[in-house]
Amino acid sequence: MKHKILIIAGLALFFSVVTYIAHDLFSNSSVKYSKSNPYEYDIQHLNKFDSVSVSYNENLAFRPQMLEMHGVATDYSDRIYVAGNKFLEIFTKTGNLLKRIALDGNALCITIDPDKNILLGMEDRIEILDMDGKLKEKWEPVSQSSIITSISSDGKNVFVADAGLTSVYQYDISGKLIGHIGDKDPHRGIPGFVVPSPYFDLGISGINEFWVANPGRHLMEKFDFEGNLIKSWGITSMEIEGFCGCCNPSHFTILKDGSFVTSEKGIERVKIYTSEGKLKCVVALPQSFKEGTRGLDLCVDSKDRIIVLDPVKKMVRVFAPNIDSKNNN
Amino acid sequence: MPSRREFIAKCVRGGLLTGLVVLGGTLMLRPRRDDENCKFNFACGSCSLSDSCNQAEAVSLRSTVWQLDPSKCIQCGRCATACVITPSAVKCTHAYVMCGYCDLCGGYFKPETKTLTTAAENQLCPTNALKRKFIEDPFYEYTVDELLCIGCAKCVKGCDAFGNGSLQLQIRHNRCVNCNECSIARVCPSEAFSRVPANKPYLLNGFGTERLANDKTQQEG
Ligand code: SF4
Ligand code: SF4
Ligand code: SF4
């Protein structure tokens, strides 16, 4: 009896081994991989800001009729301009299409100057159109390596940010190059721009202050028109107060009271800072955007509505303050 | 009337015979490694040619390899665990031409890192394969030690999210044994693997990367 039990146990063991070998050889290896993986790097938790209140609502969104869009601007009567690959589209402030203008190339940035000209950064050159979209001027290309990512004008000067050559150019309105601003110069206390990715923004405030985002240093830098660095602000942080990743803010614009609206990539968020660089309130958090969204260009209108170009959702999205927001004052 | 002893002996013999038949059948029917199959000793990993093999066919099959398309990769981490060789034949490749040489590198540092030092607790790479060297303020050069890299894609995901995507996964063909059916391809959730001509094995994303891909091909002869 004892022997019989031993033999049955031995046979059972033998068949188990054979079955295991057969299963191992024939089974599809994919079943061995569950959905979880020890090396999966989860960055979702960085996008959660549970204790942060959002002071703005999205109250309008509309879709330009172009596949690739890069720049957004408003004019004196709050019309909204969207520039992209091969097209410029002009909308009313409520998002109705007024005009569609064909372009000869890819417009990466746009501004409307005080003399009612449309200035476009066309990858490596500047083009100027009148308000009907007729080409007035085409400046000489800066360089084959140029990637012109931002343009702004006070009516006398035109400032151009070139992410390809990590430089800011100052032109007069006729297109004559006056000089470079912000190049590294330890004698003048200028640390120089660091631009790891093609997001390099600049802007002029309502009181003619000239600001450049230095994304690799997470700084906003103010220069005078002679190129002297006046002041800077910004901190590096994943937290809501700072700028995250290798290169942020990717875009900014300036409100009437001199406060800054900034957008970031990596952790997609739009925030408002005071003119001194203190976080004032939040316009939108990552949950408002598709993961991996980058290139959130910004502009504001005369009512301080914040207009965000979302190139991933392919929408123009308009944000206005929550009526009951306590933070937004 | 057979004795109890005879009955037990018969059972044992019967059991062993059945076992041997199952084991033999299993071994005969299992998928054979290609180098065992190949008449020309190519070990190309691309077929189970058996009777129909001729050299031209074998040569043509050998002339394709597996390629990983970084634009499809979602950095799930399976490249580190699913490859038939250990450590994986998939490695992180650095597209230097795109790199911003950032001090705060999203591929090198864990996101909450406070001080940007090379201390192990600050590093995202589980194997210390990503190295950083100071160039000049504020620039750092990053290099991948392929002997240490296990292809886990953590740095790739960090660079993609917070940098400019210059760290990318690639199958290194000086290590890959060109399996008939790539076992990572079987589990890759984003179908990033495909079979391509062997003279164009690398595919990198972004500006200026074509040259790097060619250089890698040439290095491996
Ligand atoms: S298995 Fe596919 S998605 Fe996952 S890391 Fe490898 S290539 Fe990327
Ligand atoms: S993090 Fe992973 S993929 Fe990147 S270098 Fe280290 S081991 Fe390689
Ligand atoms: S073909 Fe084989 S060796 Fe090459 S990456 Fe795929 S599993 Fe690894």
pLDDT in tens, chain A (329 residues): 566 777 777 777 777 766 666 555 555 444 445 556 788 888 888 888 887 889 999 999 999 999 999 999 999 999 999 999 999 999 999 999 999 999 999 999 999 999 999 999 999 999 999 999 999 999 999 899 999 999 999 999 999 999 999 999 999 999 999 999 999 999 999 999 999 999 999 999 999 999 999 999 999 999 999 999 999 999 999 999 999 998 999 999 999 999 999 999 999 999 999 999 999 999 999 999 999 999 999 999 999 999 999 999 999 999 999 876 644 44
- Packing angle, helices B4-29 and A2-26, rounded to 10: 10
Q: Write down the pLDDT at residue B113.
A: 84
Q: ω into residue A249 within 30 of 0, thus cis?
A: yes
Q: B94 in contact with A at a CB cutoff of 8 Å?
A: no
Q: Could you tell me the two tokens for A265?
A: 């990539």
Tell me which amino acid residue A56 is.
Answer: Y
Contact B26 A25 (CB under 8 A): yes
Residue among A87, A224, A213, A221 at smallest CA distance from A154: A224
Q: Write down the pLDDT at residue A328.
A: 47
pTM: 0.79
Q: Write down the pLDDT at residue B140.
A: 94
3-state secondary structure of B215: helix
Q: A178 to chain B nearest CA, in Å?
A: 28
Contact B164 A246 (CB under 8 A): yes
Q: Write down the pLDDT at residue B44.
A: 45
- Evaluate: CB of B84 within 6 angstroms of ligand 3: yes
Interface confidence, given as ipTM, is 0.74
Edge-to-edge strand list for the sheet holding A148-153 = A148-153, A157-162, A167-172, A177-181
Q: What is the mean pLDDT of each run of 10 residues along chain B (221 residues)?
A: 67 69 59 46 47 54 88 96 97 91 91 85 95 92 96 96 93 95 96 95 80 70 56
Q: Could you tell me the two tokens for B44?
A: 């190309």
Instruction: Report angle CA B62, B92, B90 to the nearest 5 degrees.
Output: 35
Q: Write down the pLDDT at residue B32.
A: 46
Instruction: Give per-residue pLDDT as tens, B151-197.
Output: 999 999 999 999 889 999 999 999 999 999 999 999 999 999 999 99
Q: Which residues contact A33 (CB under 8 A, 6 or more apart)?
A: B78, B81, B82, B187
Q: Write down the pLDDT at residue A110.
A: 98
Interface test with A, best of B75, B90, B104, B205 (most A CBs within 10 A): B104
d(CA A124, CA A106): 10
Q: B130 in contact with A at a CB cutoff of 8 Å?
A: no
Q: Which residues from chain A sit within 8 angstroms of residue B28, using beta carbons?
A: none
**Residue of chain A with shortest Cα separation from B24:** A18
Q: Which residues contact A267 (CB under 8 A, 6 or more apart)?
A: A46, A47, A238, A244, A245, A286
